């Protein structure tokens, strides 16, 4: 799944009151799931600041809002507000499949203490909030990390 | 209208509802199995105890969930490795794998989306909607058919497919309405068409401490395991995180340093409704109900097949009207009020006969009644069936309203012919209502109202002659209710009689033809017949079938008739010359008007000559030993005493109570009506006790019997005519 020049940055930039939108770069987020033996996984990709406060969402894989409560950290942070993922929602991701998203992310998000989180949930299986939590740094780009339960590898590339 | 609402969703969504119901029935087993297999918490056990035990076994526990079945699942991390197990609450130890059941998962995805994502979900929702419409329209149809919901479980008549369809439906309809309604609710919820629930705000203030044991927390000590849904533990090392408790009542947060309740939100009424609906649909938390619903869903494929069979039979039953004239040019207007299509068959016969007699005829449903268009009409004939307890049949809807709304009745005189079943109280009630409305409107009458009982071709032919008289034409109506599909029958044996009395006759026995599965389902052809039904045999060299009364029922395992050779008769000559191994081309025609019926009331069977055939069949089939009195007239006991040997055996078996014979050849002719008179006291007594009289034989004999019975019954105040109206005096006369 490839999405070019997505304006997902809007939510982030307004929250961060960045000086301008011009200073952004395309970032590719690649999430590969392991074969956990269940239905498609719901994934919420979002960012928190250095204090751990929710800043904004990057992507929501899974379009039935009634299941969002199982993405429990994201749900608690946003109150389940679907406006947070308007326009940045796609299908859930099947076991063993890869989700690849490309977005324009503000430069200011990098090397400034922000953390990218992924909450995951699968029907009739465990909820896995904070499945992945990686600091957003330029040095960390391209480094693959493993999730706690469902994510075989996650990496962001610039 | 309602029938269309039942037919079209049924035919169009047949595949969908079949998949839905079969997968649903299969899924209904899982909650019950889970309920049985899952280790249950002992009564009164608290969440605190459960959490304590599980934490003792799995120190890295993150979440404990309790399914409505009572199954408790724990999720933990052990040195960075995720783990999950179904836990025995008595020990806190893992008891079984927590991995989802792959079969159940596969079935669930089939059931809700055909593995096709949102498109599939919408398709299945449409299937559920079709199921709901089918169930509701079906409910109305059955209610109408049995004359009100009070008679919901009344006994049904008719071919097997239709009976089976309604038998299953009237039990399963409750479950199907429930399952399809809840399905639509759940689909609407999935597509965010319904409002969701609220979420408790995350507490801002926490103690900042950690390490309070969940086993000591007051709320957990007070909450029984039975109410638990989910208990989530805080992240290790995150002092700002909390315990989250979800129960049947709501959601709350507990401080991990003090055990205090930080926030609580009750379930909203809306959430409760949604959860109840989820439970009703899935059976999760109501396993027995789930199984019952699953069983009811299993009826759907059978109803689908029988429904299609009924539909096809209805289509076959409605013939094409050939040479239908425009309404404005027709001299005779035929208006048809038919429910199942059989009255259309009579209309087609009448249409053809009138056309052959040189008439221009327009045939239309009664619902298309348009008197202003009948410019050239000399007469209007209404053929009207009745639905339920006197309602208009499908093709006559609105007729009475149109007639009432018309300024004046048409000038062309009208005749009403009612079609019905005398055994129902509302016999031809709609036809009578039409006649009454016509009279009230001042519509001139061509002929008095007349009736056809149970599609009797004889009644119809008689009425046709009267119509011909009224019109001044010669009208011979030879009606075959359904164009018969013929089968080839092979003679297996023949027994000859009557040669000595110049009446060569034979009892012919044919082998049962093989019935295809669909024939058995529909009860078509020789797949279902009783003694007294008619068999039409096509002689070689003539397209006109000859009808004989059957002397056997299907369960006897053979087809038997009694045939007399008429001098110079083409057909009877051929048939009485058949040898075993020879074949004939034949079809079955039902004769529901000539049946002994159920019950224990005595039967008085009266027949002469070959008329003994169906009567012997009734006796042979009388395994329940109902009292049967047989009056049998013959020429000479040594010659045409058909079934003489068997009758003695049947009498010894209790199938025949009494046999009275009358012999006409001798010094003093003695006929069967004389035998009746000789037994007058007994016959009168039997009839007073509710006996049913069945007469089979020649016209003269039948007339003689009617006269004799009139004499016999005179002292009792009863008449043969009154008995006929009650359906207690039936004739099969040729």
For B190, the closest of A38, A66, A125 (CB atoms) is: A66
- Residues B691-716 pLDDT 10s: 999 999 887 898 899 999 999 999 88
**pLDDT for residue B482:** 57
For A149, the closest of B82, B99, B102 (CB atoms) is: B82
**pLDDT for residue B401:** 85
The residue ranges of DSSP E strands in B516-649, in sequence order, are 534-538, 546-549, 558-564, 583-589, 603-608, 628-634
More confident residue, B322 or B85: B85
CATH number at residue A43: 2.60.40
Q: Tell me how many domains chain A contains.
A: 1
**A124 at interface of B, judged by CB pairs closer than 8 A:** yes
Is the predicted pLDDT of residue B201 greater than 90, yes or no? no
More confident residue, B518 or B553: B553
Burial class (CB in 10 A: 0-12, 13-18, 19+), B25: buried
CATH, domain B603-733, list 3.40.50.300, 3.40.50.80, 3.30.413.10, 3.30.390.30: 3.40.50.80
Alpha-carbon Rg for chain A, nearest whole angstrom, is 14
Q: Are A37 and B100 in contact (CB < 8 Å)?
A: yes
Q: Are B100 and A124 in contact (CB < 8 Å)?
A: yes
For B199, the closest of A66, A79, A149 (CB atoms) is: A79
A150 interaction partners in chain B (CB closer than 8 Å): none
* Helix axes of B117-145 and B2-12: crossing angle, nearest 10 degrees: 140
Residue B174 in contact with residue B132, Cβ under 8 Å? Answer: no
Determine, yes or no, domain membership for A28: yes
Q: What is the mean pLDDT of residues B612-639?
A: 93
Give the minimum alpha-carbon distance from A8 to chain B in angstroms, rounded to a whole number.
Answer: 23
Sorting pLDDT into bands at 50, 70 and 90, what band is B481?
Answer: low
Mean pLDDT of chain B: 88
Determine, yes or no, domain membership for A152: yes
**pLDDT for residue A5:** 36
CATH class of B487-589: mainly beta
- Residues B643-675 pLDDT 10s: 999 999 999 999 999 999 999 887 788 999 999
Sorting pLDDT into bands at 50, 70 and 90, what band is B239?
Answer: confident
Q: Are A125 and B102 in contact (CB < 8 Å)?
A: no
**A83 at interface of B, judged by CB pairs closer than 8 A:** no
Determine, yes or no, domain membership for A89: yes
Instruction: Give the three-state DSSP class for B516.
Output: coil
Domain assignments of chain B as residue spans, ordered by start: 2-32+104-196+289-312, 46-89+198-267, 318-471, 487-589, 603-733
Phi, psi at B639, each rounded to 5°: -120, -55
Determine, yes or no, domain membership for A52: yes
For B75, the closest of A63, A126, A130 (CB atoms) is: A126
Q: Looking at domain B318-471, does it have CATH number 3.40.50.360?
A: yes
Give the minimum alpha-carbon distance from B15 to chain A in angstroms, rounded to a whole number.
Answer: 25
**A148 at interface of B, judged by CB pairs closer than 8 A:** yes
pLDDT under 70: residue ranges of chain A: 1-22
**A111 at interface of B, judged by CB pairs closer than 8 A:** no
More confident residue, B218 or B152: B218
- Distance (Å, rounded) from C-alpha B252 to C-alpha B229? 12
**A125 at interface of B, judged by CB pairs closer than 8 A:** yes
Determine, yes or no, domain membership for A45: yes
Instruction: Give the three-state DSSP class for B675.
Output: helix
Q: Are B63 and A39 in contact (CB < 8 Å)?
A: no
**pLDDT for residue B371:** 87
**pLDDT for residue B372:** 84
**pLDDT for residue B66:** 94
Q: What is the ipTM of this complex?
A: 0.80
Residue burial A116-145, b: 16+ Cβ < 10 Å; e: rest: bbbbbbbbebbbbbbbbbbebeeeeeeeee
Give the minimum alpha-carbon distance from A124 to chain B in angstroms, rounded to a whole number.
Answer: 6
- Distance (Å, rounded) from C-alpha B561 to C-alpha B574? 14
Is the predicted pLDDT of residue B56 greater than 90, yes or no? yes
Contacts of residue B57, Cβ cutoff 8 Å, sequence gap at least 6: B87, B91, B92, B93, B94
Chain B, nearest residue to A74 by Cα: B202
Chain A, nearest residue to B196 by Cα: A66
**A 30-69 residues inside an 8 A Cβ radius of B:** 37-39, 52, 63-66, 69
Q: What is the mean pLDDT of residues B195-205?
A: 65
- Distance (Å, rounded) from C-alpha B60 to C-alpha B80? 9
**A25 at interface of B, judged by CB pairs closer than 8 A:** no
Question: What domain range includes position A87?
Answer: 9-157
- Distance (Å, rounded) from C-alpha B475 to C-alpha A143? 99
**pLDDT for residue B221:** 93
Q: Are A79 and B201 in contact (CB < 8 Å)?
A: yes
Among B241-255, B422-436, B569-583, B615-629, which stretch is predicted with the lowest mean pLDDT? B422-436
Contacts of residue B257, Cβ cutoff 8 Å, sequence gap at least 6: B206, B207, B208, B209, B210, B211, B212, B239
More confident residue, B149 or A107: A107
Q: What is the mean pLDDT of residues B411-428?
A: 84
Identical fold between B487-589 and B603-733: no
Residue burial A80-96, b: 16+ Cβ < 10 Å; e: rest: beeebbeebbbebbebe
Mutate: best of B104, B118, B196, B242, partner A, most A CBs <10 A: B196
Q: Are A65 and B77 in contact (CB < 8 Å)?
A: no
Determine, yes or no, domain membership for A2: no
Give the minimum alpha-carbon distance from A31 to chain B in angstroms, rounded to a whole number.
Answer: 19
Q: What is the mean pLDDT of residues B84-111?
A: 92
């Amino acid at each position: 799944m490839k999405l070019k020049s997505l304006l997902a940055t809007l939510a982030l930039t307004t929250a961060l009151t960045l000086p301008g939108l011009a200073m952004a770069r395309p970032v590719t987020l690649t999430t590969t799931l392991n074969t956990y033996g269940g239905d498609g996984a719901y994934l919420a990709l979002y960012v928190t600041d250095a204090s751990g406060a929710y800043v904004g969402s990057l992507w929501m894989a899974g379009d039935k809002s009634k299941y969002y409560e199982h993405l429990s950290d994201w749900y608690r942070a946003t109150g389940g507000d679907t406006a947070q993922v308007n326009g940045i929602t796609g299908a859930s991701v099947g076991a063993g499949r890869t989700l690849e998203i490309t977005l324009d992310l503000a430069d200011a998000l990098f090397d400034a203490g922000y953390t990218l989180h992924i909450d995951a949930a699968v029907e009739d299986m465990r909820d896995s909030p904070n499945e992945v939590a990686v600091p957003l740094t330029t040095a960390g780009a391209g480094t693959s990390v493993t999730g706690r339960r469902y994510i075989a590898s996650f990496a962001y590339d610039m | 209208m309602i029938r269309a609402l039942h037919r079209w969703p049924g035919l169009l969504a047949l595949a969908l509802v079949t998949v839905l119901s079969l997968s649903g029935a299969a899924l209904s087993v899982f909650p019950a199995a889970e309920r049985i297999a899952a280790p249950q918490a002992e009564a009164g056990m608290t969440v605190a105890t459960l959490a304590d035990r599980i934490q003792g076994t799995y120190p890295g526990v993150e979440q404990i969930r309790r399914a409505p079945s009572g199954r408790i699942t724990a999720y933990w991390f052990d040195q960075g490795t995720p783990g999950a197990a179904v836990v025995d609450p008595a020990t806190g130890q893992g008891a079984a794998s927590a991995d989802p059941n792959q079969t159940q998962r596969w079935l669930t995805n089939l059931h809700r989306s055909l593995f096709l994502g949102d498109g599939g979900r919408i398709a299945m929702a449409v299937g559920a909607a079709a199921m709901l419409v089918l169930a509701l329209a079906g409910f109305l149809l059955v209610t109408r058919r049995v004359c009100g919901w009070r008679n919901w479980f009344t006994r049904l008549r008719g071919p097997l497919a239709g009976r089976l369809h309604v038998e299953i439906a009237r039990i399963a309809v409750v479950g199907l309405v429930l399952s399809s309604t809840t399905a639509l609710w759940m689909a609407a919820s999935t597509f965010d068409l319904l409002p969701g629930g609220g979420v408790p705000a995350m507490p801002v203030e926490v103690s900042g401490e950690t390490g309070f044991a969940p086993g000591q927390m007051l709320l957990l000590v007070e909450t029984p395991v039975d109410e638990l849904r989910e208990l989530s533990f805080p992240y290790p090392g995150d002092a700002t995180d909390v315990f989250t408790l979800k129960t049947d009542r709501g959601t709350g947060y507990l401080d991990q340093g003090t055990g205090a309740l930080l926030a609580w939100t009750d379930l909203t009424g809306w959430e409760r409704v949604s959860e109840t609906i989820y439970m009703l649909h899935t059976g999760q938390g109501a396993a027995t109900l789930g199984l019952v619903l699953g069983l009811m869903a299993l009826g759907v494929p059978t109803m689908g097949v029988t429904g299609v069979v009924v539909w096809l039979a209805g289509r076959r039953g409605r013939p094409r009207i050939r040479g239908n004239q425009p309404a404005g040019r027709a001299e005779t207007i035929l208006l048809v009020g038919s429910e199942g299509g059989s009255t259309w068959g009579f209309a087609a016969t009448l249409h053809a006969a009138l056309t052959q007699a040189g008439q221009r005829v327009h045939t239309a449903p009664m619902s298309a009644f348009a008197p202003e268009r009948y410019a050239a009409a000399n007469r209007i004939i209404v053929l009207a069936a009745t639905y339920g307890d006197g309602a208009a049949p499908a093709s006559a809807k609105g007729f009475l309203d149109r007639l009432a709304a018309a300024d004046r009745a048409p000038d062309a005189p009208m005749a009403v012919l009612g079609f019905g079943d005398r055994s129902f109280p509302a016999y031809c009630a709609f036809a009578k209502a039409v006649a009454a409305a016509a009279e009230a409107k001042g519509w001139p009458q061509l002929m008095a109202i007349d009736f056809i009982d149970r599609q009797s071709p004889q009644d119809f032919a008689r009425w046709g002659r009267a119509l011909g008289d009224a019109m001044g034409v010669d009208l011979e109506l030879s009606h075959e209710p359904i164009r018969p599909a013929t089968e080839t029958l092979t003679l297996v044996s023949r027994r000859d009689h009557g040669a000595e009395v110049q009446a060569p006759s034979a009892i012919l026995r044919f082998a049962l033809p093989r019935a295809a599965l669909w024939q058995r389902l529909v009860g078509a052809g020789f797949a279902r017949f009783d003694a007294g039904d008619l068999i039409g045999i096509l002689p070689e060299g003539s397209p006109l079938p000859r009808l004989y009364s059957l002397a056997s029922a299907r369960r006897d395992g053979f087809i038997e008739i009694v045939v007399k050779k008429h001098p110079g008769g083409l057909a009877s000559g051929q048939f009485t010359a058949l040898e075993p191994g020879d074949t004939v081309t034949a079809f079955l025609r039902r004769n529901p008007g000539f049946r002994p019926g159920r019950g224990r009331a005595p039967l008085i069977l009266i027949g002469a000559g070959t008329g003994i055939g169906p009567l012997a069949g009734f006796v042979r089939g009388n395994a329940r030993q109902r009292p049967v009195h047989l009056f049998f007239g013959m020429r000479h006991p040594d010659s045409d005493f058909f079934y003489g040997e068997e009758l003695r055996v049947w009498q010894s078996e209790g199938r025949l109570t009494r046999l009275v014979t009358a012999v006409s050849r001798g010094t003093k002719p003695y006929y069967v009506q004389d035998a009746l008179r000789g037994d007058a006291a007994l016959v009168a007594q039997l009839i007073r006790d509710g006996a049913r009289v069945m007469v089979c034989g020649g016209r003269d004999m039948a007339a003689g019997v009617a006269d004799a019975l009139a004499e016999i019954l005179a002292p009792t105040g009863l008449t043969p005519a009154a008995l006929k109206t009650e359906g207690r005096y039936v004739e099969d006369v040729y």
